[in-house]
Amino acid sequence: MSKNLVIVESPAKAKTIEKYLGKDFTVLSSIGHIRSIVKKTKDGTPPIDVKNGFKTTYEVDPEKKKVITELKKAVKNAEDVWLATDEDREGEAIAWHLCEVLKLDPKTTKRIVFHEITKDAITAAIKEPRTVDMQLVEAQQARQILDRIVGFELSPVVWQKVPGGKSAGRVQSPAVRLLVEREREIRGFEGSFQFRVTAQFSHNDQSFKAELPKRFDTEDEARSYLKDLTGATFTVSNVTKSPGTRNPSAPFTTSTLQQDANAKLGFGSKATMASAQKLYQAGSITYMRTDSVNLSAQAIASAASYITSAFGEEYSQVRKFTTKNSSAQEAHEAIRPTNMSEEIGSGNEYDQKLYDLIRRRTLASQMTPAKLEKTTITITVSTRTESFEAKGEVIVFDGFMKVYGGSKKEAERLPAVTANDSLHLIEALARQTFAKPPARYTEGSLVKKLEDLGIGRPSTYATIIDTVQTRGYVEKGDGEGEPRDVVVLTHTPGSPALSTELADKAKESTEVEAGIFRHIVSEKTGADKGKLVPTPSGELIADFLGNHFDQVVDYGFTASVEKHFDEIAEAKLDRNKMLEDFYTPFHTLIEQSGGIDRSSVGQSRDIGTDPKTGKPILARFGRFGPMLQLGSTEDKENKPQFAPMPAGARIDTVTLEQALEMFKLPRLVGETTDGKAIKANIGRFGPYIQVDKLFVSIKPEDPHTITLEKALELYDAKLKAEAEKNIADFGDGVKVLNGRYGPYITDGKKNAKIPKDEDPKSITHERAKELLAETPAKKPRTRRTKSK
């Protein structure tokens, strides 16, 4: 064993660092957090003893006991121990927990930090060690304690009082509220439309597009305008040219990286952070959890050198960005490449895309502005007072856009015209345009909103978005939208033919006046694919918390708590005072929650009466969300029947006709070739068919109309997939299966990984049981308290 032991968080980071430190250093990993707050103490005291200064009892995570044993052995054999966990509050807390478990003195044990894994950064850190910063540790503890208190005290209330309620979190709940409020804005949006007029002109055989700034409120007004263009002359009245510049954005913070990766690459927040983590651990980029837009002097010089040599001196411009957030202290630099000239940051295609985005954004931040020339041509119409405008933009010098932010679609080039030039009208078009409701949040735009409100921090954004989806309060939409008819009027002088643009697209076309055609085309509206949509359970929990625990979902209050964490880290606020100020009013609300009537939580609506049985039909909330009920729970002789809610319907909108259709399910579709019944139905996870105990998803098919032929096709495909999934079945519940992430062994209670050097098809029964025995048991789920 070497004289020096360095402990980091991840094995990948350990390998990278060990390359730089040489034979006198051994680098081991804690593999993340090593301790958690206990669920139950041995002596019966509360895990978080509120009355005793929020004293907290921790325990080593079961899966980390082997790791701790190895670290303890290494510590005994080392002369010096260096704690090199991440530089943010979570990393500082892990360093403190290591001190506690390994019996190291936090006041004297060497603590080193660096925000990039390079030889220079590691060497510099070794030269300037410090000790564990207990203020950062206390800030992390405050967050962890608050989150635990809210989860453990509020979640049982949610289980008891909210139908289908799962849990509630301190930071996740305001995020759900944001999505619910936006969804209701969309539902309450009153649609309107206007007619937008565009025209295609030509001059010296070059055509270009222009638009009428004025909008018409009715089809008759738009048609009247097009009619007035018949026989009109079109003249250039003015040409204005103005220079413009476009400046690059600052280098990435955690928030802006997640936003751009979502918008440009389609990456979710969780995937972005996992990819960034790998790039950081490989030494390709700086630390990925940061509020800062600052670049080090060395990084700026390196960028300038690369830009000058690759593109020329005229492309280089040194910039120093300042961070707006005064509490940006979780790291000291923006996210950037550790080597500006290195184009390849990873051999993994997915990670390389993110690296390329980070590198181009960083280089662009140190490049000159793009120079543009904007041109506006004003066109008068002899028969009307309104004028058309044609706008174009030419990039005179691309500057930073050479590497980042350049539009894939080239701006339209306008012809060289001067005042009083006559133009030829090729075609004029008036299209019905609908007002757009507020947009649903994407993962990227939700991160931006949370950041704007001061909710969450770089280390929590991805977790917030992942948690609200995991709990079933939010889901990612997959709808392509619904079709709607759009009216388009066209005027093509001297040509009886239909508009070339619309000839193939129009559902119907009629000539309403000489030379003026009316077309009906179809467009999609209301698409939610890739957007975050609150589920009915999400709406219910948001309403419940808003009505009874406003403190938990209040944006301003949640943001103020984040500021208090910052103040604790800066030694401006006492940890226990901050916890007390939060806990006292919160716990009072918990104590008062016993009086909340469960039956008043969640909608329940009488839809009508079943014509066959005369029984009432209700739409109400059940354990798994909105559902339909036929009959009364008070009827002792006949139990009520239940059915799922129709797709797209809500408790407040479902009709009796829709409900009656749902009670026709399950529907017998037919039989398999060996005589087994095929039933179609709708369940928690959507429409499905059932054959014996096998369930097969039939999305996007409708269980009311799916044909036997289609059902058999899906059934056969499922049988094939199941056969491929089973590699071996030993008959006693132990199986070797093909899973989403590769082959594994299961006994139904726990899953075991198969070592990479072993062939899954060659695993014996004994070897399978051996691997299962080596695998820690799954953590038991917390049992819910039944409501009375």
| Sole residue written with tokens 């930071």 | 171
* 3-state SS assignment for residue 290: coil
Q: d(Cα 55, Cα 587) in Å, to the nearest integer?
A: 17
- Whole-angstrom distance, CA of residue 595 vs CA of residue 345: 58
The count of C-alpha atoms lying within 13 angstroms of the C-alpha of 538, restricted to the half-sphere facing its C-beta, is: 27
Per-residue buried b or exposed e for 71-100, using 16+ beta carbons within 10 Å of the residue's own CB: beebbeebeebbbbbbbbbbbbbbbbbbbe
Q: Are 14 and 31 in contact (CB under 8 A)?
A: no
Non-local CB neighbours of 655 within 8 Å, separated by 6+ positions: 607, 649
CB 386 within 8 A of CB 212: yes
Pair 195, 215: CB distance under 8 Å: yes
287 is catalytic: yes
Cβ neighbours of residue 48 under 8 Å, at least 6 residues apart? 37, 54, 55, 56, 57, 145, 148, 149
Cα distances (Å, whole numbers) of residue 79 to 21, 26, 127, 533: 16, 11, 17, 55
Smallest CA-to-CA distance from 308 within 298, 317, 299 is with: 317
Residue 760: exposed, middle, or buried by beta-carbon count in 10 A (0-12, 13-18, 19+)?
middle
H-helix or E-strand spanning residue 432:
strand 422-434
Query: Which residue among 287, 315, 583, 688 is the active-site one?
Result: 287
What does the block give as tokens for 777? Answer: 């048991």
* Active site amino acids: 287
